[in-house]
């Protein structure tokens, strides 16, 4: 590459990373409102060229107000998470320590998405929507405006191609049916993996479109210069461009909101490099089964599926306690948990080696206890998790006092009147938190008996 070409590439990449932050958290400006109609034909043709799929039919579109978005979110979140499911989700967040006990999860989610959502595709109606005031950039200086104009880019088109990619996914792969099929597993980790497939596809297309436009529509692929892992790492702290709700959000929500886009984008690139867009398309009929496969795409390509865990004898009611929630955390949530409590630890390494997990939260009145079974790829992975989780508990429960320990085997402690129990058996770990002493012993007689399958 000649010196002049390198200089041009540096300029293009500088613009690219500025726009990367813009496209995730666009803000309002006093510019003329963006018109989807003026861009629809061009962007749809660019999408078909980049993605290799042509629209089967036109996509209805509109620009909606913030009030509409809030009402839309209220209706759809309540439909997706009725009262009982929202209660279980809220309790799980508090039990694992992601949010304070007084945190208002539902209200926070509505405020967060109302502030941050810039566009959406509604697979129930097949309509595409961009949000009023989200298609321009707040505080852009003259040089940045000139840079975008020079490359023929605007935020509205960047958002539009992302949502149009969701529409084309729907036309070819039936998103409503696909998302409904994954819910039967009652596995949030698996749902996050599928969400990462969808959002990663749209984000990757958006990245390709930005670079293609900045290279004059010459069809130059950004992956010729850098991979998406580098793009993800160079994107930095996207919360710098966020609204106030995101900036103040608990770490769990920050990571969960960005993960499907950035890590999903890396996952899609790995698939495309291994077998072109055909490989990506095949993933819609054989979707990833865990966030582990998103974080480590080779495990998806090698069909290294997670281990499913179910208790054989554990009842849904025991000693006056009733089952409130049963679900799976997965590697992404475990990694985020350690980052939340032990930010200076090597939290990514602790979560690697995850093989499968299943947790239950039981309820009696306003009290809850957690039972969590994890299996790991190697005994060493299980030992590393156990050792690190003991350190995590010291932060989570400052009043924790260990009453009986058998190093590297089992640990029993007290938090007030309740027990904390951890034990390891080869590759498996069993945790019980917040359980009354007499109940702990009853659970231990049946808690280890599980069925594992892939």
The predicted structure's pLDDT at residue 304 = 96
> Residues 93, 155: contact at Cβ < 8 Å?
no
pLDDT score recorded for residue 370: 97
Q: Please tell me the predicted confidence (pLDDT) of residue 151.
A: 72
Average confidence (pLDDT) over 351-360: 98
Q: What is the mean pLDDT of residues 203-218?
A: 84
The pLDDT of residue 334 is above 70: yes
What global pTM score does this model have? 0.92
Do 55 and 126 form a contact (C-beta atoms < 8 A)?
A: no
Structure-block tokens of residue 233? 């790492």
pLDDT at 278: 98
pLDDT band at 47 (very low <50, low <70, confident <90, very high): very high
* 29 pLDDT more than 60: no
Confidence of residue 293 (pLDDT cuts 50, 70, 90): very high
CB 163 within 8 A of CB 130: yes
Q: Does the pLDDT value for residue 9 go beyond 90?
A: no
Kindly list the structural domains of the chain, giving each domain's residue range(s) and its CATH number in brackets, ordered by start. Answer: 3-301 (no CATH), 308-453 (3.30.200.100)
Longest dimension (CA), the chain: 75
- Distant-in-sequence, close-in-space partners of 176: CB < 8 Å, separation ≥ 6: 123, 124, 170
Average of pLDDT values for 146-166?
85
What is the pLDDT at residue 42?
Answer: 94
In order of 42, 352, 371, the CA distances from 148 in angstroms are: 17, 40, 53
Q: Average pLDDT over the chain, rounded to whole?
A: 89
Q: What is the percent of the chain where pLDDT is above 90? A: 76
């Amino acid at each position: 590459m000649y010196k002049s070409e390198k200089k041009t590439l540096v300029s293009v990449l500088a613009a690219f990373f500025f726009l990367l932050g813009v496209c995730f958290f666009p803000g309002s400006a006093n510019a003329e409102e963006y018109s989807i109609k003026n861009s629809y034909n061009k962007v749809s043709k660019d999408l078909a060229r980049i993605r290799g799929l042509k629209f089967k039919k036109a996509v209805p579109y509109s620009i909606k107000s913030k009030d509409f978005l809030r009402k839309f979110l209220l209706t759809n979140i309540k439909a997706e998470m009725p009262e009982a499911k929202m209660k279980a989700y809220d309790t799980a967040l508090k039990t694992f320590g992601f949010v304070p006990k007084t945190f208002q999860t539902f209200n926070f989610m509505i405020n967060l998405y109302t502030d941050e959502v810039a566009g959406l595709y509604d697979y129930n109606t097949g309509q595409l929507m961009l949000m009023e005031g989200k298609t321009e950039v707040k505080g852009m200086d003259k040089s940045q405006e000139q840079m975008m104009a020079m490359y023929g880019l605007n935020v509205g088109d960047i958002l539009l191609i992302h949502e149009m990619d969701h529409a084309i996914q729907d036309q070819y792969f039936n998103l409503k049916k696909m998302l409904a099929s994954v819910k039967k597993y009652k596995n949030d980790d698996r749902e996050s993996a599928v969400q990462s497939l969808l959002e990663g596809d749209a984000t990757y297309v958006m990245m390709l479109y930005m670079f293609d436009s900045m290279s004059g529509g010459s069809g130059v692929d950004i992956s010729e210069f850098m991979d998406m892992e580098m793009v993800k790492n160079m994107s930095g702290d996207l919360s710098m461009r966020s609204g106030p709700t995101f900036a103040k959000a608990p770490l769990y929500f920050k990571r969960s909101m960005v993960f499907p886009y950035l890590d999903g984008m890396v996952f899609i690139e790995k698939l495309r490099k291994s077998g072109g867009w055909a490989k990506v398309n095949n993933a819609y009929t054989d979707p990833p089964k865990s966030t582990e496969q998103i974080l480590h795409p080779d495990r998806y390509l090698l069909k290294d599926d997670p281990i499913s865990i179910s208790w054989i004898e554990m009842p849904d009611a025991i000693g006056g306690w009733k089952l409130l929630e049963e679900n799976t955390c997965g590697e992404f949530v475990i990694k985020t948990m350690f980052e939340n409590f032990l930010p200076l630890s090597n939290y990514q390494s602790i979560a690697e080696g995850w093989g499968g997990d299943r947790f239950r939260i039981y309820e009696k009145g306003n009290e809850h206890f957690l039972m969590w079974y994890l299996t790991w790829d190697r005994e060493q992975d299980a030992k590393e998790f156990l050792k690190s989780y003991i350190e995590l508990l010291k932060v989570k429960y400052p009043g924790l006092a260990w009453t009986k320990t058998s190093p590297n085997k089992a640990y029993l402690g007290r938090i007030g009147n309740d027990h904390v129990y951890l034990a390891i058996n080869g590759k498996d770990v069993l945790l019980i938190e917040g359980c009354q002493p007499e109940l702990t012993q009853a659970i231990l007689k049946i808690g280890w008996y599980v069925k594992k399958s892939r």
